[in-house]
A and B are shown apart, each in its own frame.
Chain A
Amino acid sequence: MGDLILTKHLGPDRASIDAYLATGGYRAAAHALRELTPDRVVEMVEQGGLRGRGGAGFPTGRKWKLTPKREGETRYLVVNADEAEPGTFKDRTLIEGDPHAILEGSFITAYANGVHHAYIYLRGEFFLGYERLSRALGEAYARGYFGRNILGTGFDLELTIHRGAGAYICGEETALLESLEGKRAFPRQKPPYYPAVRGLYDRPTVLNNAETMAHIPHIIAMGPEAYKAAGPPILYSVSGHVVRPGVKELPIGTPLRAIVFEHAGGLRPGRTLKAVYPGGSSSAILLPEHIDTPADFDSLQKIGTMLGSSAIIVMDDTTCVPALVARAVEFYRDESCGKCTPCREGTVWLSQIFERILAGRGRMEDLDLLDDVARNMTGTCFCLLGESVPPTLRASLKYFRDEYVHHIKSGACDLAPAATPAGAAGGGRA
């Protein structure tokens, strides 16, 4: 494993601009501003092979090229720091542990895209993150890295931190824009409302994830070839029944086995692996037999799941799968914005069926009913929130049908509820 790039300097004092400058901070921004054309920056990001870290994995450079640059038309940059996909905590870790990296990436992105007004949409529940990011921004303004005539080059950039107020749907990019405009966070119709062409206030908008921003300074500082050769690196959020949960910076495509058993310290003592979410609660769960799959976009897609936000949730043999999936369904039910019927009604129906099964009142035909509702939500929901419900539900019905049947037939669960906090000592194997 090479040197850490994104997480090398994480710490509680990194909101200080002096701490950030001491490790080479804002050098990439100054270099880009003084010596590179905006087009050259876009090209470098494209050559570095960076794919958006919000979940969809769209190539960042290509996304920037899709944003029309018409003379005299205002363009915006919006950074999605509304991290809320269950299991994902890489953005929060960066926001709290190296906030200037996100600011510097935003600076370079704004310059590359001819943007003079940028917003960071920060999750409302990130109180510590808000404190640190605000302090970092205040200090960066005071030193002239934001505001008018930055570094004497004539480039102006205003950046504003916009706090959310509790709504998972705001992670969906068009819902986030509605929220930023001061409205209820209902997703917009695509087409025509692709943010690149009709985004914030109906203007072309570059919309990127917070971790994506943190990669940008490194692509400029290292050069795209060296950055690409280093992996490229991404941040995996590893949690659940592992000994050392945490953010693991690794080359993209590291096999799940290495991530879980080496970097996260393996399972608790005496336990065996039961299932893994490879990309947050929206990805279909996998079995131990899939553990040698490289954790990248294409390999995971090939086995019917996805890298998504690269949140790996590990479950050992103490896990009751129907209870877990029921909790995921409950989450989507609570967070459904109510705009479209399949999501609003489907999640309520699914919840009711799960409630029945877990209360020991399940019927065998409930299994077909679960699958039927899930199938009817697939491809019919207005946005990805509703579309996130069926993958794990259907995978669990396929892989763990016996467990559902046992619940229904016996009316009980044989598994004791898990009661050990993450990080308890251990070392079990798959």
Chain B
Amino acid sequence: MALPPARPAPRVLSRETLDAIAAACARYPRAQSALLPALHAAQAQLGYLPEPALADVGDALGLPVTEVTAVATFYTMLFTEPVGRHIVRVCTNLTCHLCGAGPVLDRLRRGLGIRPGQTTADGRVTLEIAECLAACDEAPVLLVDTDRLARVTPEAADDLVRRLGADG
């Protein structure tokens, strides 16, 4: 009987991340279904998904790195380039647009000195436009990392800029 192919040593993913990927794999009849959970886990460890991480994920799931890359670049929450330590996602979709997201976004742009899609020079904050966050009863809304802020006023946006500037 042939020996199974030797699995290459992981390049950047930690033991914990690889364990999380293995646990995800066990929930699906096909390993490829664990690709999004695996990419989430890898990004949680590294902040983004550099090429060696994509290669590690491919090795863990038995997928070519091209397939992993194709998926990683399709979804907006997965980053293949470095991003800030904090991610601010501003909804500007219909209800938020009607309820004042424009002035909020303007304050954030001015306060952070960047456009949506960019990261501050000190690597602290990435600013993004979000599509409808399904919290229109709280419009305008934004996400600061995993926290949702409701009924954001331009003044609250200024406060947020100050808070993010003071926070490592």
Contact = CB atoms under 8 A, between A and B. Distances in A.
Interface of A: 83-89, 91-93, 117, 123-128, 158, 160, 162-168, 179-185, 201, 237-241, 245-247, 277, 281, 311, 313, 315, 319, 323-324, 327-328, 331, 334-335, 417-423
A6 to B, nearest CB: 16
A-B interface, 6 closest residue pairs, ranked by CB to CB distance from nearest: A182-B35, A166-B76, A239-B136, A165-B75, A182-B32, A166-B77
A123 B32 contact: no
Contacts of B97: 323-324, 327, 418
B146 A331 contact: no
B151 A86 contact: no
Given A165-B75, A313-B98, A418-B99, A86 B93 contact: yes
A91 B137 CA distance: 13
Nearest to B154: A419
Interface stretch (B3-11, B13-21, B23-31): B23-31
Contacts of B74: 167, 184-185
Given A85-B132, A87-B132, A237 B137 contact: yes
A117 to B, nearest CB: 8
B127 interface: no
Interface string B122-166: 000000001111111111100100111001110000000000000
A91 B63 CA distance: 34
Nearest to A335: B131
B94 A162 contact: no
16 contacts: A84-B134, A87-B136, A88-B136, A167-B76, A182-B36, A201-B30, A239-B95, A239-B137, A240-B99, A245-B95, A313-B136, A319-B98, A327-B97, A417-B102, A422-B99, A422-B151
B153 A421 contact: yes
A44 B34 CA distance: 36
Given A89-B135, A331-B131, A165 B39 contact: yes
A91 B93 CA distance: 18
